[in-house]
Structure 1
Amino acid sequence: MRATVVVFLLSAVIGAFTLVRAQQSSPEKQAGTLRADVNLVSVYFSVRDGKGRLVTDLGKDAFKVFEDGREQSISFFAHHSDVPLNVGVLLDTSTSLSRTLGLEAEAAGRFFDSVMRENDLGFLVSYASRIETLQVPTEDSHLLNQKAQTIRRNAKPDDLVLPPPRRQGRIQTFPFPVPVPPQTGPQPQDVRVARLYDAVGSSVDRFLSNEVGRKALVIVALADDARSNSSLRDALRTLKQNDVIAYVMEVEHAPAARGRDDCDILHIFNRDGGNRLDRLAEETGGRVIKVKGFDKMQEAFDQIAEELHQQYSLGYRPANQKWDGGFRKLEIKAGRDYRVSARDGYYATPR
């Protein structure tokens, strides 16, 4: 629990400016509120060069910001790697592979250790047929690492790695009979449940909607959403309304060596939702990282941590001061061959 800090700056001319930062024990309660300039639109973003390398040394004059095609005047600009970060990780546990769950747990735990600094908050959620909060927002990266390991309990009892086969001449045989499950009822491709969109919506609503500062969601996805009650549109709207940047780690490859415990997830790699996963990330200012196998997840987490430490921030007061709830397109441009990753717009909710 973080202590509540209330700062009052009094001025005889302009009245009062109030900053309230609060964190209650219940995650559903309001966690933070900032009221300084309600007409200011702020954007966190990152920049890469033509070779995909992060660019971290640009100044305000290097950027132009456009709203609905109209250039806006930048009111403030900063390199905000030291602004408190609120970050959540969503782990896809729709597989029962014990090794896969172990690799997910290990990579996520190390990510919190590397990305979190003083005053940062992290939380952890798993999703499959159920959405489970493994850890509510906390400053304790060690605790988050511990809670990440709990997804291993979802592994099925028969997640047993087969012993190496014995060779009899040219024929390989296993040292004991391998039971073949009956092919009755729905087949694997029909039973996978991974409520990705529901997990995004509930996580943002509960843990990020009342926070201030930088907000990010890292999603480990073995495939597209399966059987959420909400839609991609719902998830995108929730992310954009709350200024949350989404990063998606899309695991592309099935295990190279398949045994009995791999069979229940082979269908996962029939990818048909890549474009939807791309939209989740790119429209919110994040990106999709194609992970070439489960053992490469740590490398992907490291890339995301580096990017979160090297973000820029700018703010502007829109020329259009009609807060009618409509969606307004945003675009940030930089010179040369730089590529800016920023959310593509915001909702002009009444203020």
Structure 2
Amino acid sequence: MSLMVIFRNSPTRLVKFISSSGRVTTRGGMTASACLKERPMRRAIQVSLLVLAFSVLNIGLSATGFAQDAAGQDNVIKRDVDLVSLYFTVRDNKKQLASQLDQGEFRVLEDGKEQPIKFFAHHSDVVLNVGVLLDTGTSMAWILNEEATATSMFMKHVVRPTDLGFILSYHARVDTLQVPTSDIALLKEKVDEIRSWGTVVGTPDQAPAPRPFPGPTPPIGPTGQPFNQRREAHLYDAIRVSTLRYLQHEVGRKAVVIVAMSGDSRSESTLEDALEVLLQHDVIAYVLQIYDPPRERSHRDHCDVIHTYERNEHGEEVLKKLAEATGGRMLEVKGMDKLTTALDEISDELHHQYSLGYYPENQKWDGKFRKIQIVTQEHGYKVYARKGYYAHPKEQAMR
């Protein structure tokens, strides 16, 4: 089994294949790891040129003075690498955003031990990199229309000139509709392409015609509506592709918004793979679980997708656990017509975030997972922040 991933990089369109062995290649034979290293290589060249320019401009400095400056700069770099940064939101007991709290209201614990907070800010003005991952595994034109309209409005509300937004679709494969850009018109143009993917005519209150699946009578779901037994939803693959391709090398706030019509189906990546890559690269995940309820007039859910979501051994929804572990949330969307409202709620949350940073007292970088907890001095507040990070060696990754 292979997963085809399409990246559109102007002016060239790259098509990558992820095989069952985990090797990813482009149609031109270039490995995905090489593609993903392309940006760091360019940055390394830029840094080298800057260092050279700095040396030329400061040729008159004494060797002793230059050595002292270099030592100071090296110390700053090491301290920055040690820094653990957290972006988070807070809601009160009425589930309203609490965005005017001071640093003294918060304490941060790592593996149960309190850590001194070195910086704190209200960071709605920090650069935001956000991607929307759309479940397009449906033949229903009206559902795809709802997704396109809601996504366009979300990008218009959340992406500012200094921010970057991108859009992926997933079903039997993962496709990039638009690479990161601040061009709202371009984002709208690209997401509007999914409107033409629907092959079944119908409305939320009208049974589809013609039958969505040609041939013998298709199986009937619990709502009395035919459904697609061959449906695939590579949700976990979409999370990994979006993070590794578009977010891992970015700085500032990073988030993915996942519009799901069901749980994952047939991804090569696992739930653990998806969660690990999000935590490693400090990406906040929001999950919108669609439940399209039966309409009053027809008493049927006119959708070709059965909205079922996986639960763990404790009966907890796994996508909810994934979102909360990264500092995001899972929202239940009861009807595609409620999708725009749900995305507006996420947009508002992204505009009311805090940030804090600390240097961990535990300086043993052994690659193990460390739990983080942000607590408030007063009761009645709920903090949404990532649950921890992997303490990789300092030369391998920033936290």
TM-score between both structures, scaled by the size of structure 2: 0.73
1:56-205 alignment, distance < 5 Å: 56-156=99-199, 158-160=200-202, 181-183=215-217, 188=227, 190-205=229-244
1:285 paired residue among 327, 343, 352: 327
Q: Which residue of 1 aligns with 2:304?
A: 264
Contact 2:142 2:203 in 1 (8 A): no
Give 2:302's aligned amino acid: D
Contact 1:88 1:125 in 2 (8 A): yes
Contact 1:47 1:55 in 2 (8 A): yes
Q: Which residue of 1 aligns with 2:343?
A: 301
CA, structure 1 residues 154+260, in 2 after alignment: closer, same or farther (shift >3 Å)?
farther
Contact 1:97 1:261 in 2 (8 A): no
Q: Which residue of 1 aligns with 2:264?
A: 225
Deviations, residues 80-116 of structure 1 (Å, cap 9, x unaligned) = 1000000000000011110010000000011111001
CA, structure 1 residues 264+119, in 2 after alignment: closer, same or farther (shift >3 Å)?
same
- RMSD (Å), alpha carbons: 3.2
Q: Secondary structure at the match of 2:180?
A: strand
Q: Which residue of 2 aligns with 1:207?
A: 246
Deviation at residue 254 of structure 1 after TM alignment: 3.6
Deviation at residue 160 of structure 1 after TM alignment: 4.4
Bigger relative contact order (CA 8 A; separation at least 6)? 1
Q: How many residues align?
A: 322
Deviations, residues 101-134 of structure 1 (Å, cap 9, x unaligned) = 0000000011111001121001000000011100
1:341 paired residue among 384, 387, 391: 384
Q: Which residue of 2 aligns with 1:253?
A: 292
Report the Cα distance in structure 1 between the residues aligned to 2:341 and 2:349, rounded to whole angstroms.
Answer: 13
Give 1:276's aligned amino acid: V
Deviation at residue 182 of structure 1 after TM alignment: 1.3
Report the Cα distance in structure 2 between the residues aligned to 1:213 and 1:115, rounded to whole angstroms.
Answer: 15
Contact 1:329 1:344 in 2 (8 A): yes
Deviation at residue 258 of structure 1 after TM alignment: 6.0
Contact 1:194 1:228 in 2 (8 A): yes
Deviations, residues 123-176 of structure 1 (Å, cap 9, x unaligned) = 0000000111000011112211111111122211x42459989xxxxxxxxxx9
TM-score between both structures, scaled by the size of structure 1: 0.83
Contact 2:290 2:335 in 1 (8 A): yes
Contact 1:249 1:289 in 2 (8 A): yes
Report the Cα distance in structure 2 between the residues aligned to 1:136 and 1:17, rounded to whole angstroms.
Answer: 35
Q: Secondary structure at the match of 1:126?
A: strand
**Structure whose residues are more often helix by fraction:** 2
Contact 1:45 1:311 in 2 (8 A): yes
Q: Secondary structure at the match of 1:269?
A: coil
Give 2:339's aligned amino acid: M
Give 2:164's aligned amino acid: L
Deviation at residue 252 of structure 1 after TM alignment: 1.5
| Runs of 4+ with deviation above 2 angstroms | 4-18, 158-165, 176-181, 183-190, 257-265, 269-274
2:371 paired residue among 308, 329, 336: 329
Report the Cα distance in structure 1 between the residues aligned to 2:78 and 2:129, rounded to whole angstroms.
Answer: 18
Q: Percentage identity across aligned positions?
A: 49
Contact 2:204 2:302 in 1 (8 A): no
Contact 1:160 1:261 in 2 (8 A): no
Report the Cα distance in structure 1 between the residues aligned to 2:392 and 2:194, rounded to whole angstroms.
Answer: 38
